[in-house]
């Protein structure tokens, strides 16, 4: 018996097994396997198929990666862009100040840059300054190629996907609104079951909203997730979300495990970190 399912498509009701003429569903007849069925099948095999079932994997269920400074070294791009804007505005800025900008949203960084002078600007002017900085950053980002991906990152991601019980799920969680562009340039968009960037949240790191949203979209429990971050703001957000966290690089704060680069990280280490967090949550 053919399916008799209705799906709203562009504001129209499309019934499986019906024929589409002039954008409307018409009566059935010889049209089994026709355009209406193709529309329905495309939906079933498309967005609906990509909604993950709730993970039942024991232990580590998901790894949530930051982007800048973890999978690719674009931190220098941000520093140069903020430095250029600071010089134009005549305000002080150095690498020590830039360290506090890591993992923080663009508008919050701008307020840190302007400090007491931020009250001198109306919101529209602040937005224009933030866009100017972003333009300086994008000039450099467009030079990225797949070879800029951090060594060892690909092997780690593929290994996590190959784990027993259907593999661990992967998410990209970044404060940057340019995250999807960077993933495209690196050609790694298909690694991730969920991508959360600065456009998806209303509160940036160190608030846990971004990581909790990632867990929700992956349909995993927060305590079964491990966050991989290079910024103190991200590590604080991970802990606030009830997740274990791995700190990458020099100068990171409190974390469950510290490595100098993502290529040093092993699946066994991630599973051990997750197990400790799960045990503490029991």
Positions marked active-site = 66, 68
Report the alpha-carbon distance of residue 254 to residue 227 in Å, rounded.
13
Report the alpha-carbon distance of residue 270 to residue 68 in Å, rounded.
20
Report the alpha-carbon distance of residue 253 to residue 89 in Å, rounded.
31
Report the alpha-carbon distance of residue 242 to residue 280 in Å, rounded.
10
- Residue 108: CA count within 13 A, CB half-sphere: 17
- C-beta neighbour count of 204 within 10 angstroms: 20
């Amino acid at each position: 018996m053919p399916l008799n399912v209705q799906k709203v498509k562009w504001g129209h009701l499309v019934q499986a097994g019906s024929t589409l003429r002039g954008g409307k569903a018409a009566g059935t007849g010889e049209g089994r396997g026709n355009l209406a069925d193709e529309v329905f099948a495309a939906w079933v095999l498309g967005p609906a198929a990509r909604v993950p079932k709730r993970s039942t994997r024991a232990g580590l269920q998901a790894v949530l990666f930051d982007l800048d400074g973890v999978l690719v070294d674009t931190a220098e791009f941000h520093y140069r862009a903020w430095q250029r804007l600071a010089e134009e505005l005549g305000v002080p800025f150095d690498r020590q100040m830039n360290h506090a900008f890591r993992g923080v949203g663009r508008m919050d960084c701008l307020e840190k840059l302007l400090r007491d002078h931020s009250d001198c600007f109306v919101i529209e002017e602040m937005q224009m300054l933030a866009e100017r900085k972003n333009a300086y950053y994008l000039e450099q980002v467009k030079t990225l190629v797949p070879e800029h991906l951090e060594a060892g990152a690909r092997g780690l991601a593929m290994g996590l996907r190959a784990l027993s019980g259907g593999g661990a799920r992967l998410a990209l969680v970044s404060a940057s609104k340019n995250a999807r562009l960077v993933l495209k340039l690196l050609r790694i968009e298909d690694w991730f079951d969920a991508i959360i960037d600065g456009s998806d949240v209303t509160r940036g790191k160190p608030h846990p909203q971004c990581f909790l949203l990632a867990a929700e979209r992956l349909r995993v429990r927060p305590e079964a997730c491990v966050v991989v971050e290079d910024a103190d703001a991200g590590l604080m957000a991970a802990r606030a979300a009830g997740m274990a966290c791995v700190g990458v690089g020099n100068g990171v704060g409190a974390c469950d495990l510290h490595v100098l680069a993502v290529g040093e990280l092993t699946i066994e280490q991630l599973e051990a970190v997750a197990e400790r967090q799960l045990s503490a949550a029991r």
